[in-house]
């Protein structure tokens, strides 16, 4: 494991947003966030917190290049993702995305879901991808669920399968939309520790640190002195700094996201 996440390319932005307006997926004329300035550089772990309907999901979808900004400039690996074509597929595959509802393909089993991107992009048969998929499923304790379709798998494990699917292509950066929402305590612990391992460089992925950006509606599980935090509130993206800044913040929304007793909220 690497204790210092990728300090060599600190100046290169993986994601950069300048004065971006984020609209919703369904209605491109309805802005949920305005004037967003955000830069994610290699080795960082960003946690963007916000209450419900604050624009967390849309921010992640936009950051991943899955929808265009309503206004402003957004780049992914230095390029406008709206101009990504076939020739930019390798760039596209440098980022993995895990959405809140897992969005596994209902007609495939867990193993087939995890294998799909590998098989599609490397043109592998089911047998050809089996070893790699099995290893990853075992790493993530998903092997017993390999042959079950998502509808028959508890939500805690579906989320984990979605992570496995995002990891199978060994991306450089992972984007998460509220990954801990609704998870049992045991799974929350597993996720935070596993994401920390990925951030610092997991042996399974060759020890290469993975840059991470996640959203959350609860700040408490994300306590870590080296993570960077930001807040989504009233259509604004406000960087908060590190955990010490979060703890000392007087913002009532931050306190709410820390589940501080209402009487102490100023």
Partner 1 sequence: MAGFYLAGMRGIWSRTFELSNTQGFGRAPLPRSYTDYLGRKLFLFLLTVQGLGAFALITLGVILQKRGVARNVIGPRIRQETARAGVALLPMFSFVALALGFLVIGQTVSVLAKVGATNYLGSTMVIVIVRELGPLLAAFLVLARIGTAHVIELGTARAMGEIESLEALGIDPVHYLIVPRVIGMAAGVFTLTVFLVVGALASGYLFAFLQDVPLTPGDYFKEIINALGWLDFALLALKSLVVGFFIAIVTCYHGLAQPLRIEEVSRVTVRAVSQGIIVCVFIDALFIVLYLLV
Residues that bind partner 1 (CB under 8 A): 25-26, 28, 61, 64-68, 81-89, 92-93, 96-97, 99, 101, 103-107, 116-117, 119-121, 123-125, 128, 162, 165-166, 169
Half-sphere exposure of 89 (CA within 13 A, CB side): 7
What gap in Å lies between CA 127 and CA 116, rounded to an integer? 12
| H-helix or E-strand spanning residue 100 | none
Closer Cβ to partner 1, 26 or 261, answer by number: 26
Closer Cβ to partner 1, 89 or 259, answer by number: 89
What gap in Å lies between CA 15 and CA 73, rounded to an integer? 11
**Cβ pair 158, 144 in contact under 8 A:** no
CB of 88 to partner 1, least distance (A): 8
CB of 147 to partner 1, least distance (A): 17
**Cβ pair 111, 131 in contact under 8 A:** no
Give strand pairing partners of 50: 232
Closer Cβ to partner 1, 26 or 186, answer by number: 26
CB of 85 to partner 1, least distance (A): 3
CB of 214 to partner 1, least distance (A): 15
Instruction: Pull the structure tokens for residue 222.
Output: 């994300």
Closer Cβ to partner 1, 198 or 257, answer by number: 198
């Amino acid at each position: 494991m690497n204790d210092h996440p990728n300090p060599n390319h600190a100046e290169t932005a993986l994601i950069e947003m300048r004065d971006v307006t984020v609209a919703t997926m369904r209605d491109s004329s309805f802005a949920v966030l305005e004037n967003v300035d955000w830069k994610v550089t290699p080795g960082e772990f960003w946690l963007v917190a916000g209450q419900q309907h604050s624009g967390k999901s849309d921010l992640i979808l936009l950051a991943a290049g899955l929808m265009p900004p309503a206004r402003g400039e957004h780049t992914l690996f230095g390029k406008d993702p709206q101009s990504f074509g076939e020739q930019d597929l390798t760039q596209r595959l440098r980022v993995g995305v895990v959405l809140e509802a897992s969005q596994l393909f209902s007609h495939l089993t867990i193993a087939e879901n995890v294998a799909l991107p590998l098989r599609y992009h490397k043109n592998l048969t089911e047998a050809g991808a089996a070893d790699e998929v099995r290893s990853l499923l075992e790493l993530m304790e998903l092997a017993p669920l390999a042959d079950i379709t998502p509808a028959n798998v508890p939500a805690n494990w579906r989320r984990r399968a979605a992570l496995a699917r995002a990891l199978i292509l060994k991306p450089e950066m992972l984007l998460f939309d509220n990954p801990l929402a609704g998870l049992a305590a045991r799974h929350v612990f597993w996720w935070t520790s596993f994401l920390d391992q990925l951030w610092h460089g997991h042996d399974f992925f060759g020890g290469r640190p993975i840059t991470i950006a996640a959203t959350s509606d609860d700040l408490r599980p994300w306590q870590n002195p080296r993570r960077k935090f930001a807040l989504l509130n009233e259509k604004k993206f406000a960087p908060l700094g590190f955990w010490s800044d979060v703890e000392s913040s007087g913002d009532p929304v931050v306190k709410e996201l820390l589940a501080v007793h209402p009487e102490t909220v100023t």
